[in-house]
Every structure is written in C-alpha cells, then in structure tokens.
A and B are shown apart, each in its own frame.
Chain A
Amino acid sequence: MFDLTEEEILRYSRHIILSEVGGAGQQKLKEARVLVVGAGGLGSPVLLYLAAAGVGHIGVIEDDVVDVTNLQRQVIHSTGDVDKPKVHSARESMEQINPHIEVDVYHERLTKDNIFSLLEKYDIVVDGVDNFPTRYLINDACVMKKKKLVEGGILRFMGLVMSISGGETACYRCVYEEPPPPGTVPSCAEAGILGAVAGVVGTLQATEVLKMITGVGEPLYNRLLQFDAEALHFHELNAKRNPKCPVCGENPTITELIEYAYNCEIQAPGSPS
C-alpha cells in the first residue's frame, strides 16, 4: 500500500511509469531522508531536483547568505534573495516546487561538534561544500557512521562526482588521502567556475541520490567520474577501496573526527606545493 495522494500520483507519474521505479520506488523517495551540505553551486541543483522528485525529508545546512556573485550559478536563489540566509532562500524555492516535502534548515556551519547528531537523522548525505576541511570532515564522519555519501566538486571548467557507502566502498580518502597543502588549490571565487558546470555536477549528484534511494542502476561506487566541460569529456577512473586508507582501511589511523584549519593564502604559480 502506498502513502501517495492522487495529486502526488499525478505529480510523480513520470517516475511511476518507469518500471524500475514504480509506486514502490516513489514511496521510497517519500520516506527517504537526505542531508545536503551546502546550498550553493552544487547544493542548488541537488536540492531542486530532490525536491521535485519528492524526497520526503531533506535537510540543508549552510551558514552563508546569498550574495550577488552567487546568482550566476546558484540557481535556487534569486535576485530578491540577496543578503538572505541561503537555507531560507533554498527552502522557499523547494517548497514552491513541491509542497509535499519536509525541509529542515540549519543556518550554521557543519563542524565536528554537530555532524554526528545531524547524521543520525539522515540516511544519505550530499557534499556540496566549497572547502577541504569540511569535505574531509563529511567523508570521515560518513565512513565512521556508515552513511551513504555523494561527493562532488567543481572548479573552472571541471567537475567530479563519486558515491560512497561508508565502510563498504572506497571513500574520498582512498583517492585523496589527505588535503592538498594549504593555498595550492584555488576556490571558485579565485579561479572562476563556468556556472552550468555546477548544474551538471549537482544534477549528477541528485541522480545518484535518487538511484540509491530507489535501488535503480549502479551507484558510482568505487569509481571517480571527472568532467571536462571544455572538451565535454567524461573520464571515469577506477577508485578501489584502499586497504591502507587512514579512515576506512584495514588499520585506520583516523578514528576521531579531524577539523583541518582553514588557510586563505594562495601561493604563486610555480611555488613549491
């Protein structure tokens, strides 16, 4: 028996007629609980598509406010939202798309002090952050708590996506064992980002979430997908779980959450990394 109203059945009919999804899959979406970290370039398409798809419980954590420089790509926010907390702007957009979902907002930064309590409420986490300290924090916590995580990143004309089942498949550290030296990798604010690239990567992340929930297809486990917008080329790399991974390996050395320090210094090209 499905807990879907007539309006919901009509709304989600294009899902339901997919034999691989059906009413059962739509019911799973309605019961799913997903936490999206970041309501920016990646978070925008993720949140919009999860809302549209009828994911029943969506959490959004983000401590920033909307800035005019965001509007080139953060399509969940509008001009009238400038200076508004992004979580509130995002929730309004999501609820306008779909009044049947519940959106919990956390206008705060994700830290090692709140991440575990947040993870208890959700089954799947989406990483839409713009800094490495939080990225590694999310990965480590999801491995420790055996949560599913959809990792994403963008810069200039490039993007990457990776799906992780904490404790079972390769994690972010299996590929990127430790953060890059401070100041060696610029942010989108410093190096730029082609706006639509955020849409490509974020929509891929949303796709992975829907697949995880419904069981359709194969998530991007043990694989890293890189996207080159200039050549419009996707390159998939094998990303096997590393038995020596410091957090998910056979003898983990990281058993407690780490909060790396932020560093705002960018090195000049050619400087030793």
Chain B
Amino acid sequence: MTMTGCGTHSEKDNKLLSFDKDVERNDNLTLTVQGKHVRYGGDADVRSLLESRGENSLYANVRINGTVLSRRDFENIPLSDGDEIDFLYFMGGGTCST
C-alpha cells in the first residue's frame, strides 16, 4: 500500500505552486486550497487537483465554495479561478481487527 502525503503539498510538485505575486500571470488558476492561496496549472478538474497533491490513494470528500461534491463529479465539475476548495479527509478508520 503506497501512501502519499496527506493534507500537504510537496514543494517538488510543480503543478501546485505557492502564491507569488511576482510570478508572471498565465493560464494558471488561482485557488484557495485548504485555506491557502495557490496557483494551480494542472487539468482544471477536482480529480486532477487531488492527484497533483498526491491524494489519489487517500479518500476525501471535497467541498467547492461550500458545496460538498459527489465523488462521481470529481471529473465533471470544472475548477474556476477563485474557487475555494476544502478536502474533508477521512481519518481514524480502517481498522478491522477486533
């Protein structure tokens, strides 16, 4: 089982950049992710955003602008500039031993 970083973004991940007003503006989206302003240059859908943060193997509910998304909508609902995205991580479960 490969676990990737949960709730963090890697500095090595060039799709998810720290907000820097001196960076030349391009087609990157400016998003608020987990309360932090970021520039995102990947595919503009939730699943791609999750994968850019290494969340693919960690189950989380996703909320955009206050609305919780159905998991099946992760690829269908596009991200827009200014969106506020929260990841509602599931934690504290998974144990099956008695």
A158-B91 CB under 8 A given contacts A269-B56, A273-B59: yes
**Which residues of the partner chain B approach A266 to less than 8 Å between Cβ atoms?**
1, 94
Chain B, interface size category, equals 20 to 34
Task: From B3-11, B21-29, B38-46, B75-83, give the one contacting chain A.
Answer: B3-11
Interface residues on A, range: 35 or more
- Give the residue of B61, B68, B92, B97 whose beta carbon is less than 8 angstroms from that of A154: B92
* Contact of A226 with B by CB under 8 A: yes
* Given A186-B1, A238-B66, A263-B96, residue A228 in contact with residue B8 (CB < 8 A): yes
Say whether A160 contacts B1, CB under 8 Å.
no
Q: Are B7 and A131 in contact (CB under 8 A)?
A: no
Assess whether A130 is interfacial by the CB under 8 Å rule: yes
Q: Which residues of A contact B34 (CB under 8 A)?
A: 226, 228, 233, 235
A235-B35, A269-B57 given as contacts; is B93 within 8 A of A187 (CB)?
Answer: yes
User: Given the complex of chains A and B, what is the CA–CA distance between A152 and B90 in angstroms?
Assistant: 11
Q: Which residue of A lies closest to B2 (CB)?
A: A269
Q: Which residues of B contact A (CB under 8 A)?
A: 1-3, 5-8, 34-35, 56-59, 61, 63, 66, 68, 71, 86, 88-98
Q: List 13 A-B contacts (CB under 8 A).
A: A109-B98, A132-B90, A132-B94, A156-B3, A157-B5, A157-B8, A158-B89, A160-B91, A185-B59, A190-B94, A191-B1, A235-B34, A264-B97
